[in-house]
Structure 1
Amino acid sequence: MQRTYQNPVYPDTMADPFVLKHEGMYYAYGTGPGGADGRQVPVLRSPDLVDWEPLGHALLPNGAKHYWAPEVAFHEGRFYMYYSSGSADEGTDQRLRVAVAGHPAGPFVDAGSVLVPDQPFSIDAHPYRHTDGQWYLFYCVDFLEESGEHLVGTGIVVDRLLDMTTLASAPRVVVRPHQDWHVFRKGRTMYGAVHDWHTVEGASVLVHGNQIYCFYSGGAWERENYGVSYVVADHPLGPYRLPEGGQEALLMRSRPGAVIGPGHNSFTTSPDGSQTWIVYHAWDVAQTTRRMCIDRLDWEDGRPVTAGPSCGPQAAPSSAAP
């Protein structure tokens, strides 16, 4: 009998979920409240992407107030957690950092430096290892000038990693806000001026048909316009091109009366490796909290598709035969 699951797959707050598959187990990291012991970043473990066990918190604090959007890469026996932290109440001073551990559940110890020191604001790091073995880091910074179709606001860039804690300091633009649905807040005071602020964030990369697909979440994270779309390139450093039909989120968007603001996703594979799954957060209709959800990702005529955000029973990720 086909096993099923139903979203959300974890009942508590788990925003910006990232899932690492390591030695047959899944580890999920997200934005959420810190632990009673002062540690940050909730971490969960699962054998199948459906049943999740909390393991406490993975990151030793660095003295900041807020910790956002962790992602973890495994390289040469060590685990590297990329995250942002800051102390301003409105979160406008977030800076990217990296912490290191010998186990996927931590404890992760901060490496002691800011990854992007020339930017006043940097968030949503996504480490990506290309097919040739080279590591890259996708992340977000702010853009204060309009340029062509580009709007003022938060956008995504990519840089090469010289090693797991050092960037080449030669970032290239991946995608900037360019659509009305990317609006975060009109009349927002930022950097001493008032802007109609737009946002694209939460990069996550897949390779399909020798093409690089950089998925992003656009809009306001607490509103119904938040959703997931993508851009495409031939190489991780770009240039990236816009697909047709970008007037709305192409992959996933709110379902009125059911799911609000699905986004900030990561990708992983089923236990048997045969399927791709998107892991994302979404609000319930009452907007109680952002919880972790999963849905299968498929490809049709070279375009990614998913039934998500789903809210009824779905076929569970496929497992290897016993």
Structure 2
Amino acid sequence: MFALSRLLPLSLLALTLACQKAAAPAAPAVTPPTTTTFTNPLLTAGPDPWVIRRGDVYYYMHTTGNSLAIRKTAKMSDLGSSVSTVVWTPQLAGVNQRDIWAPELHFFDGKWYIYYSADPMCCDGHRINVLENASADPTTGTWVDKGRLAVPGQDLWAIDGTVLEQNGKRYLLWSGHEVASSQVQRLYIAEMSNPWTLVGPRVELSHPEYSWEQNGSPAVNEGPEVLKHADKTFIIYSASHCSTDDYALGMLTAPATADPLKPASWSKSALPVFVKNPAAHAYGPGHNSFFQSKDGTEDWILYHANPQSGQGCGDNRSPRMQKFSWNADGTPNFGTPVATGTALPKPAGE
């Protein structure tokens, strides 16, 4: 018994070692395949999309109607999986407003600013307002209401504010009414003394004059956005009413060193530069913004469009993005809206 009891553990050890040698090798770790493409739309809904990049982060906003929300993402192709953070709600701030439209996030002089349009339920309709945030991350910190942004003595209906920086100065661009009784939307510009103050006077840069700018009622020029390239400054704007399938993009062009307050500095393209593509499920494409790829080698347009005809100004408008090129004369070539569901290469660097 004594000898057997000593031999038994040795036998078990040998059996264990033999089993270990006979066991199948561990399976190698599986690395998920790298996706190099994305498809539009980026979100199921998102009218008036806006994006700005700071550092390695893209910050995105669109019209929600009753609040201001920011998404942040390292890759624009991942926008759909990003977290949306509500940063401001007017009722919580003691501000009586409704129908909040077209928010834009800008970074000036070390602080963040949001320009948005809202109906203050007085004063004959929408006005442009400004919020300020000193936090490094605009999804954190406190947003301070800097009030209404209007030309002194001309507090008229106004929407879609954006900022042009040229010749060391800043200018507000927006869509507004000539007089309180007029519903036609025109593009205006005025100089800014700081990010929340206009010094006036306002100057009209464009109004609906071509047939492609006058579909629907009222006739509309709105959503001005700044695009700079080489020695030129472009204002890409939306034309015709958003209730029509023929909402489209027009273009104003000026030298990059010209005085933007002089109407003669700007030339207006007689034809639209981006129009509907029914075969691609892109109706009423417009109210765009621009960004560069992560590595800075590509230019991209971000815009909204409806997937079906007759869907108008509602939340069926979804954000889409596509790369664009430049013509030999230095003007942008946006091509045509790409079909939803089409696999497109991600922006370079993603």
Determine which of 221, 226, 230 is the counterpart of 1:209.
230
> Structure 1 residues 184, 57: closer, same or farther in 2, change over 3 A?
farther
Distance 2:51 2:124 in 1: 26
In the alignment, structure 1 residue 139 sits paired with structure 2 residue 181: no
Map 1:46-195 onto structure 2 (within 5 A).
Answer: 46-52=73-79, 53-61=82-90, 62-87=95-120, 93-101=125-133, 102=135, 103-106=137-140, 107-116=142-151, 118-130=154-166, 132-143=167-178, 153-186=184-217
Q: Partner residue of 2:261?
A: 237
Distance 2:215 2:125 in 1: 17
> Structure 1 residues 316, 79: closer, same or farther in 2, change over 3 A?
same
Q: Give 1:222 deviation, angstroms.
A: 2.6
Q: Partner residue of 1:253?
A: 275
Unaligned 5+ residue runs, structure 1? 35-39, 146-150, 187-196
Q: Give 1:87 deviation, angstroms.
A: 4.8
Contact 1:41–1:58 (CA<8 Å) still a contact in 2?
yes
Amino acid at match of 2:307: D
Structure with more of its chain in helix, by fraction: 2
Structure with more of its chain in strand, by fraction: 1
TM-score w.r.t. length of structure 1: 0.83
SS of the aligned residue for 2:212 comes to helix
SS of the aligned residue for 2:220 comes to strand
Distance 1:307 1:54 in 2: 31
Q: Partner residue of 1:310?
A: 338
Distance 1:92 1:275 in 2: 43
Q: Give 1:8 deviation, angstroms.
A: 0.8
**Percent of pairs identical after alignment?**
25
Q: Partner residue of 1:45?
A: 72
CA RMSD for the aligned pairs?
Answer: 2.4
> Deviations 1:55-99 (Å, cap 9, x if unpaired)?
22222412201111111210122101111110559x960001100
SS of the aligned residue for 2:216 comes to strand
> Number of residue pairs matched?
293
Contact 1:115–1:165 (CA<8 Å) still a contact in 2?
no
Distance 2:88 2:164 in 1: 21
Distance 1:275 1:237 in 2: 30
Distance 2:285 2:245 in 1: 9
Distance 1:100 1:209 in 2: 31
Task: Please identify the structure whose Cα radius of gyration is greater.
Answer: 2
Amino acid at match of 1:128: L
SS of the aligned residue for 1:289 comes to coil
Q: Give 1:105 deviation, angstroms.
A: 2.1
> Deviations 1:145-204 (Å, cap 9, x if unpaired)?
9xxxxx971011111111111112122222111111212535xxxxxxxxxx31011001
> Structure 1 residues 121, 100: closer, same or farther in 2, change over 3 A?
same
> Structure 1 residues 126, 213: closer, same or farther in 2, change over 3 A?
same
